[in-house]
Amino acid sequence: MTEPNEPTDSTARTESNPSAGQFTVTPAAVEGEIDYEKLLERFGADPLTDGQIARFPDHPLLRRRTFYAGRDVDRYLEAAAAGDPHAIVTGRGPSGPMHLGHVLPLYLAKRFQRVTGATVYLPLSDDEKFLAKDQSFDAIGEHTRDNLRDILAVGFDPDRTQIVVDTADADVIYPIAVRLAKHLTPATVDAVYGDQDTVGLQFYPAVQATHLLLPQLVAGRQPTLVPIAVDQDPHVRVCRDVAAREALPVEKPGALLGRFLPSLEGPGKMSSSGDAPSIELTADPETVAETIRTHAYTGGRATLADHRENGGDPTVDVPFQYLRYFFEPDDAALERIAADYRSGELLSGELKEIAIDRITEFLSEHQHRRGELGSLEAELEPFRLPERERRRALERAGVPSPLER
């Protein structure tokens, strides 16, 4: 049924972890202090080797192992090095405004596209979020349009990037999802995702599997890599499983799995639904500063004297972790900050100000590009799949339109 190294029943349900306590990681929920290494055992994915990291385009997210594990990464790396076609798929569930954690895979994908010419597919699963959240299609539609602006602001190359929205591109997505769903049993869905509330949610994995195969169905067999936070790995496993069972002209997509940007209030993922505030991509500088000053968990000491004497701990300090993940790309600068913090020379409040500066700088550039965008319809047009490519995909998937023959 599944590959030997990919147990289907490998969802990290809540499990006890004596050192870190309980944690849960599923596409629907992420809770507790995550043991990232243990997750790989559970999921059957492999830690990235130094050699693999060196072969990827250089990026702090990889260099510092925020993206730390994968599946079938070598196939992708070989194609990228040889100049052969290779693709990236990373998507967005439009259930609310996008925050800092959401841009990590997007900016990583953009770098890969710049350096090796990867084709990037960006699906938006408005159907999934309608089914999973208590929101109307009107509300989800607003988030979809708002999120699209943020995705467009990243600056992908329109000649090598396709954006699809599930309900708006249903002509191509639905027939392929149906074909894949033929081999997706309720037992598999239950095992991988746990109990689903509706048949809609039970069907959705076939839709996300479609996203992951779309580059190959449109443009032919090629290594495809899916950079995502680790909670989305079950979708990759299901896709690999159903792809293997259908005689489709595709290879199994690989995965590049990332840690979560820590929540401002401490370990765990930055959540838009939980209690800890998150920093939205449209936040103005005052809001960023205020949010970090008030809420960021630090690794500083209780008193100034204690801090000067014994120093702070950057490994648990959230402002430092934000710099390390993404916002201070210069390794030497980052190392200096860590050293000054450990020695007690740099105070928690001062470290917060550094993080505020870097994040504000990043956001002001992102927001500038967002502000330059014209009407959504016009901006999106070059990123939409042309009619002939939709047909190619349906033909390759063996589901051509019944009315056009």
Q: What's the min distance (Å) between Cβ of 84 and ligand TRP?
A: 22
Spatial distance between the Cα atoms of 396 and 295, rounded to a whole number of angstroms? 51
Please report, in angstroms and rounded to a whole number, the separation of the first and last CA atoms in the chain. Answer: 35
- Nearer to ligand TRP (CB atom), residue 149 or residue 352: 149
- Supply the minimum distance, in Å, between the C-beta of residue 28 and ligand TRP: 9
Residue 335: left if φ>0, alpha if ψ -120 to 50, beta else—which one?
alpha
Residue nearest to ligand TRP (CB): 91
Longest distance between any two alpha carbons in the chain, whole Å: 80
Q: Which is nearer to ligand TRP, 2 or 232 (CB)?
A: 232
User: Which lies closer to ligand TRP via its Cβ, residue 101 or residue 299?
Assistant: 101
Q: Which residues contribute to the site for ligand TRP (CB under 6 A)?
A: 89-93, 123, 125, 128, 208, 211, 226, 228, 232
Cβ 279 vs Cβ 272: under 8 Å: no
Give 236's contacts (C-beta < 8 A, 6+ positions apart): 71, 212, 226, 228, 253, 254, 255
Nearest approach in angstroms of CB 105 to ligand TRP is: 8
Least distance between ligand TRP and beta carbon 211 (Å):
4
Q: Which is nearer to ligand TRP, 93 or 277 (CB)?
A: 93
Query: Which is closer to ligand TRP, CB of 279 or CB of 346?
Result: 279
Q: Which is nearer to ligand TRP, 79 or 151 (CB)?
A: 151
Q: What are the Cα distances from residue 144, in Å, to 95, 110, 185, 252, 371?
A: 8, 20, 30, 28, 17
CB of 162 to ligand TRP, least distance (A): 12
- CA 128, chain centre distance (Å): 16
Residues contacting residue 187 through CB under 8 Å, at least 6 positions apart: none
What are the b/e assignments for 278-305, b being 16+ CB within 10 Å?
bbbbbbeeeebbebbeebbbbbbbeeee
Q: Which two tokens stand for residue 205?
A: 């994995």
* Least Å from the CB of residue 126 to ligand TRP: 10
